[in-house]
Structure 1
Amino acid sequence: MSLTGLAQEKDVSYSDNGTVLKGHLAVPKKGTGKRPGVVIIHAWTGINDFIKTSASRLSELGYYAFAADIYGADKRPQNTAEAGKTSGFYKSNRDLFRSRIKAAIEQLVEAGADENNIAVIGYCFGGTGALEAARANFPIKGVVSFHGGLDKREDKQEADVIRPKVLVLHGADDPYVPETQCAAFREEMKSRKADWQMIYYANAVHAFTEPSAGDNNSKGAAYNESAARRSWEHMKTFLSEIFAD
């Protein structure tokens, strides 16, 4: 898909079951007709400049892009302790997590995206959320998880086929997502007959797309320029494929 020029961007207030949320919308300036849309789920610190930049870059590719707010308009973690507590709450309450993602999908469609061509992507905590959207079989074409957690909850829908296509982009040295979790995820995808891919990046740990994570792999989370660049290209190819279908 060709570039369409700079995006039109704005913050958007919406809600989920009475909770006020504040997302960020980026819309391509040019082009006619319905366009595919991508929901972006933030990492554990909430919507930040990195997430907004991701929305801008996606809109420059011709997509409607909406940065979802999982936490609430008045809830922005101020430090890692708060971020860990808040993200942990949603990972322990996955029905609520899924509800917030569904609300973002609905908001993206309301903004003008093609309801038949929606994807969900996410980073770290958001990558976990993207996989929840697939597990829940939301009406989307596919999901992309950047260095997200791969664990799942017990679910009565577990035997159902996962219909959205799945792409997992994973740091080969990520200490927070051990190989045992990766193996369990692969078995889950096989048992639910998903169309899935998992790409490992050498010398990459957790948060490899985040420039603010620094460059010290020994901390377990660090930026890796090569993995960040390659993963973005892999995502672009995946989106082109699922929307072409």
Structure 2
Amino acid sequence: MKSLFLAVAIVLAAAMPSEAEVTGHEVNYMAGDTLLKGYIAVNDRIDGKRPGVLVVHEWWGLNEYARERARMLAELGYTALAVDMYGQGQTADHPREAGQFAMEVRKNLPLAKERFSAALAMLQQHPSVAADQIAAIGYCFGGSVVLEMARAGLDINGVASFHGSLATDNPAQPGAVNARVRVYNGEDDPMVTGEEIAAFKTEMETAGVDYRFVNYPGAIHSFTNPAADEAGKRFDLPLAYHAEADARSWQDLQEFFNEIFR
């Protein structure tokens, strides 16, 4: 399964110069008294400052999938920080544990904001990053996190959610959202209902947010992750990889970044 993901990553990055050299390493930072263990990826062949991108992990925690997405962004010319929203680099092997980790953060917006802001500050301070050019992307749990950070008014250029939850207890308020918003959703995802989609669109429009919602026919939850098929079968969950939706959403993300960082 890992080899399939790496093959997809190579195809998606094919437009990059062959001399691109990406390095990645773990980084420690603090949010209050909590040690957070992130992963930063940088393209060493690019001189000068460039936009930075935060990558927020799925409910499994900061695993290899989030790290690989950070490296793919570095191949495109960004400096990317895969963030740790659970603390101590914790990851889950079972949906029950993953759900507990995710709910602790989802139910505590001040905690989520503190941990996200700590990662944001670290990325902005990196010598390769233009501090005023920042975006955040997230997958599943991470998608819901970046949407909440946009709703909370964090001063970043844009956020993009991939198969993330749209529901919120803190709806966007008119004039409060600074980031432009993109949502990439599986049209057949049973975890995101039509009612939730309608409510999200109404929320965004009422708040005057610059947003775009994209549905991918035939795609369900975790459509960007090649490991989703195995996890879906193992835990009897509606998860499945969808190569076309993965490729199309990644291309749309690149176009989105070209718009917000020009």
Same-fold call, TM cutoff 0.5:
yes
Aligned partner letter, 1:79 = H
The match for 2:115 is 100
Between the aligned partners of 1:188 and 1:203, the Cα distance in structure 2 is: 26
Between the aligned partners of 1:95 and 1:185, the Cα distance in structure 2 is: 22
DSSP 3-state at the match of 1:214: helix
The match for 1:128 is 144
Deviation at 1:124, TM superposition (A): 0.2
Deviation at 1:148, TM superposition (A): 0.4
Map 1:19-168 to 2 at 5 A: 19-73=34-88, 75-112=90-127, 113-154=129-170, 158-168=173-183
Deviation at 1:150, TM superposition (A): 0.6
The match for 2:191 is 176
Aligned partner letter, 1:224 = H
Aligned partner letter, 1:236 = Q
Between the aligned partners of 2:120 and 2:176, the Cα distance in structure 1 is: 21
Deviation at 1:80, TM superposition (A): 1.4
In the superposition, the TM-score normalised over structure 1's length comes to 0.94
The match for 1:243 is 261
Distance verdict in 2 for CA 1:219–1:77, change over 3 Å: closer
> 2:151, 2:170 within 8 Å by CA — same for their partners in 1?
no
Between the aligned partners of 1:96 and 1:177, the Cα distance in structure 2 is: 25
> 1:142, 1:164 within 8 Å by CA — same for their partners in 2?
yes
Between the aligned partners of 2:125 and 2:223, the Cα distance in structure 1 is: 32
- Could you list the runs of 5+ residues in structure 2 that have no partner in the other structure? 1-14
Matched-pair identity in %: 37
State the Cα deviation string for residues 50-99 of structure 1 (Å, max 9, x = none).
11110111001110000000001153223211001110111111221122
State the Cα deviation string for residues 128-168 of structure 1 (Å, max 9, x = none).
0110121112121000000000111136x734342210000
Deviation at 1:219, TM superposition (A): 3.9
Deviation at 1:31, TM superposition (A): 2.2
Q: How many equivalent pairs are there?
A: 243
Aligned partner letter, 1:103 = A
> 2:174, 2:208 within 8 Å by CA — same for their partners in 1?
no
Aligned partner letter, 1:23 = G
DSSP 3-state at the match of 2:261: helix
Aligned partner letter, 2:143 = G
> 1:43, 1:122 within 8 Å by CA — same for their partners in 2?
yes
- 1:228 to 2:243 alignment: no
In the superposition, the TM-score normalised over structure 2's length comes to 0.88
Deviation at 1:2, TM superposition (A): 5.4
- Could you list the runs of 5+ residues in structure 1 that have no partner in the other structure? none
The match for 1:202 is 217
